[in-house]
Chain A
Amino acid sequence: MTAPPIAVVTNIFRPLSTPAESIAALSWLVVGVCLAIFLVVAGLLAYTVVRFRRPAVDLDREPAQVYGSSQIEIAWTVIPILIVIVLTMATARVITEVQDRPRPEDALTVRVIGHQWWWEIRYPSLGVVTANELHIPVSTSSNQRPTFLQLDSVDVAHSFWVPQLAGKTDLIPNHPNWMWIEPKVEGTYIGNCAEFCGLQHANMLIRVVVESEDAFSQWIAHQKTNPPAGQPGEKLFLGLSCVNCHTVAGTSAKGTFGPDLTHLMSRQTLGSGVMSNTSDNLRHWIRDPQTVKPGNLMPNMQLSDREVDQVRDYLMTLE
């Protein structure tokens, strides 16, 4: 399987990809300016609170009734406007840098399509379809390899957010969006769907596996193969209603409502990140997905124990 995670702690200030780095640099500038403003203003307020408390022996005199001061008021209008100008210029620069980067002809493009509550992933130029785990090549100075993602949804609005790789971009039905990532370090990156999309929004995680060019090519080559025919449990599986929702390439299972299962065992997790991909967990899911991810759109298929075992055994062969 793939490399162990870099970290599951996804700090936006630990960027490992170009757009996330540009964003972090701007963010530090803004935080710095805001911190300076805070120290000045809060300091002034704290000083005022301490210095001008009513004295214990209050001689009942009213202090000088000051109505205002033109110079001071102009100063504290002009200075904030200047700060705003600087910040907006810095911001506009990063916006165009990230949003308006032209897409090279030969760049790797991946279609990410949101579903309630999983991610469909298609590599149109490479003929690969998978789910929940996005594999992309790492970008080095000698081999710059940005990946462009086209985002869409079949149902409600979702949002693709892998903090260490890029800012989030929404997946909105009827409104395809583009984004790009250019990761610099290999590993597995975790993100969450970041637009409330219904019951299991909390459990719609995305994994992005960044690997070397060679490993990526190998992965693609493997994903394009069909699983061997005649495995135990295959006949039972193809006779059940699983085929109505799921695809296994090279078989009569051609359903598209649920995730593609052709290479299910090559993924790290099941249920878009809700549990790790083990034999026991898989059995648990097949038996009753509603106990694992209540409300998800795969119902309890009411299989007998024997059927559950056989289906699990068959799926375990889909590497």
Chain B
Amino acid sequence: MQNVAAIETIPTNVSADLGVRTTTEPVTATLHEWLITVDHKRLGVMYIATALMFFVVGGVLAAVMRAQLAFPNGTVVPPDVFNRLFTMHGTTMVFLVGMPFLAGLANYLVPLMIGARDMAFPRLNAFGYWIFLFGGVLLYFSYVGGEGLAGRGTAPDVGWFAYSPLTEHPFSRGTSTDYWILSITLTGLGSISSAINVIATTLTMRCKGMTLGRMPLFVWLLFVVSGMVLVALPPLTAAQVMLLLDRYLGAHFFDTQGGGSAILWQHFFWIFGHPEVYILILPGFACASEIIPVFSRKPMFGRAAMLGATVSIAFIGLGVWAHHMFTVGMSSQSNIFFVISTMLVGVPTGIKLFNWIATMYGGRIWFATPMLFCTGFLFQFLVAGLTGIMMAAAPFDWQLSDSYFVVAHFHYVLLGGLLFTLFAGIYYWFPKATGRMLDERLGRWHFWLLVIGFHLTFDTLHFAGILGMPRRIYTYAPGRGWEGVNLVSSIGVVFQGVATLCFIWNVVRSLRRGAIAGNDPWDAWTLEWATTSPPPEYNFATVPEVRSSRPLWDLKHPDDPDWKFE
């Protein structure tokens, strides 16, 4: 029997007498400490807090768009403003919310989950955060920097995937496209730094007994995500450099007026862009893979298959990108190849979904807020995956592409899927990070209001697409059959806004007056719950030693430990 005292804390809610740092200390620490910190926990919190701030900003941009589209011939904003809105909304949500959120989760949790003291490269960690922040601020500076139409600044207005030749100089005067290029290049550097750090940490700093096979699924998924970042981000950076060369130094990579190729941009962008969406969703899967077992009181069903499916998604996902290009005029053979690869990637994704359900099946499910959000995720991600299969059938996609059906699909994935798991993760790990529980009642209000708002807004948009409504239009004429669905969709925004306010209020209130969490409020099984809430700077007084993938289960059930069965 291993030395139980190697993990210094008792796995119950008793914490007061263990010399715990008071929960108010991180909040009142000086600004200077936060500015110079290289502590992975502080940087993790900074990443997530900044991501949430950009999330609110991106949400406001969306709310204005939906106000404009609620009625035909809308006059809320003129076309140039609308075009900047959807460009900034997409760019913000992908690069300034999704990416930093996953970096924050990874940097906070990976060292704790593997029993390490910090990340392998703490200063690189800090560098990654600050360069991301600089990139984000630079993007928004575009609203006020330079000249623009009617003095409205020069925020980018070419769509978040910035197709050429719209982004070339003849069609994109001024500096708005350059803000897009430069700020995203910077945030990309931050993502690459984080990825290097996660890989190095995971490979070299696991505690004794933790073989790769015994790492929590969360750590595995973020390890795979980091590998994908290293492969997928460079094509985007390369394309952006080429675009800069086109715009300023007379190159013609994508400049069709000079013999360049618009389609080449699309290939470069989507070779990044498709793995990017797996990079975004896999951390959500990571949260679900930790939370669902704990709240079902069962181990993950088919752990090995989950690992295999994750790696399959990563590899196959590198070969599906041109399903974003079914309408550009590729040969039938090329189209068929991408139909096959895209439908194939649905198989491991479906396997993961079945495994989560099988984990819940036969369990004793506790629907605390984290589990509520995970359950919403499961239903919604199922729909999202199925609409993806529909669009994988290329001829169907010839109708659905560039319509509101696609908009509905990817919001189902990112909002209905990813965001729900991220909220689940926040409700789950907030007690660990702050020492206080979020309020359950406010959590339920948050959840249900978000469910109602999300479905009002996005279920309807599927029908708008089926009725022929294209994307990225600032208004539409009456009589197309689009009025009703657009109005209902816009009403849903109100519910989502109120839900977000509930969440913000919950966070603010709980930081001061939330119930004391203790080390392990959820009776969970991974190493982060074996230290105090919040953890001391050094994480663990004694380096833990593990014998299975659920070390705390083994401690709590010495008669029935996992290592006897794994």
Contact = CB atoms under 8 A, between A and B. Distances in A.
A139 B401 CA distance: 27
B415 interface: no
Contacts of B479: 8-9
B351 A77 contact: yes
Interface string B309-353: 000000000000000000111011001100110011011001101
A215 interface: no
A91 B296 CA distance: 40
A41 B299 CA distance: 21
Contacts, number: 278
Given A27-B390, A67-B301, A175-B261, A22 B468 contact: no
B559 to A, nearest CB: 12
Interface stretch (A125-133, A166-174, A217-225, A244-252): A166-174
A186 interface: no
A167 B363 contact: no
7 shortest interchain CB distances as A-B pairs? A167-B398, A10-B468, A202-B473, A177-B329, A173-B256, A9-B481, A34-B386
Contact of B365 (A20, A49, A116, A195): A49
A202 B475 contact: yes
A192 B470 contact: yes
Q: Classify chain A's interface size.
A: 35 or more
A195 B402 contact: yes
Interface in B135-169: 158-159, 163-166
A48 B398 contact: no
Given A65-B299, A159-B327, A192-B468, A52 B386 contact: no
A30 B83 CA distance: 33
Contacts of B262: 157, 172-175
Interface string B254-276: 00110111110000000000000
Interface in B6-29: none
A57 to B, nearest CB: 12
Contact of B379 (A42, A66, A168): A42
Interface string A10-50: 11110000001011001100110110011001101100110
Given A155-B171, A196-B163, A201 B473 contact: yes
Interface stretch (B178-186, B239-247, B354-362): B354-362
A120 B398 CA distance: 22
Contact of A91 (B257, B366, B394, B471): B394
Interface string B375-390: 1001100110011011
Contacts of A167: 327, 395, 397-399
B261 A174 contact: yes
A305 interface: no
A65 B396 contact: no
B214 interface: no
Nearest to A166: B398
Contact of B80 (A91, A191, A199): A199
A3 B364 CA distance: 66
Given A170-B329, A202-B476, A41 B362 contact: no
A301 B194 CA distance: 56
Interface stretch (A79-87, A257-265, A280-288): A79-87
Contacts of A273: 477
Contacts of A98: 395, 398
A96 interface: yes
Interface in B166-222: 166, 170-171
Contacts of B364: 52-55, 58, 61-63
Q: Which of A27, A33, A178, A200 has the most CB of B within 10 A?
A: A27
Interface residues of B, number: 97
8 contacts: A27-B393, A38-B383, A90-B393, A91-B339, A92-B339, A96-B332, A156-B163, A170-B327
A99 B326 CA distance: 11
Nearest to B344: A84
Interface in B64-100: 78-80, 83
Interface in B454-477: 466-477
Nearest to A195: B402
A23 B365 contact: no
Given A72-B358, A192-B470, A27 B328 contact: no
Contacts of A11: 466-468, 481
Nearest to A172: B262
B256 A52 contact: no
Q: Which of B261, B402, B466 has the most CB of A within 10 A?
A: B402
Contacts of A295: 79-80
A100 interface: yes
A201 to B, nearest CB: 6
A41 B353 contact: yes
Contacts of A20: 399
A7 to B, nearest CB: 9
Given A23-B399, A168-B399, A76 B350 contact: yes
A73 B354 CA distance: 9
A30 to B, nearest CB: 5
B304 interface: yes
B473 A67 contact: no
